Structure 1
């Protein structure tokens, strides 16, 4: 478990531009008062962003996603079995359409 915590801390310190953009929308309880965490360990995984109260995970996918689709699908299924909902966005969606991404997140939080 300690390894995941250290890895998550490293990821928080080296966020991608898309992660920084999305974090600027999620932090400080800007989503209806809900608190999000960055690079949150959950079992063997590290969730890009997680709202523990609503059990909502937000994952960002970049160009490498095409190589990890099967892994991501298995990961999503496991999270779903533990009561989590997972939203996935492409990095370019966050960078080019942040308002639309934010609207989808808000709808998931309120639904």
Structure 2
């Protein structure tokens, strides 16, 4: 994969999405994803970011996505691998792993 980092971004809020009752919170999902991905992939090529949608955003890219979440009533957490939306609501590891494979993130040896 070289020196190019893959960025995993999770957008969420402290309050659980109204349509996701019974699901873990966004921050819990963020931490769970780091642990699950770290058991399968070499994490030297990965960067993780958590974006709280209830906080003001200084980066335009994140501000635009937060606005979209509210305008389109998207379910959160929302998971991106680089610029690809791979999960909305309750994430599925299989889908996220497929995106990491597509970006040629090396598996643990």
Ranked by relative contact order (alpha carbons within 8 Å, sequence separation 6 or more), the top structure is 2
Q: Which has the higher helix share?
A: 1
Give me the TM-score of the superposition, normalised by structure 2. 0.36
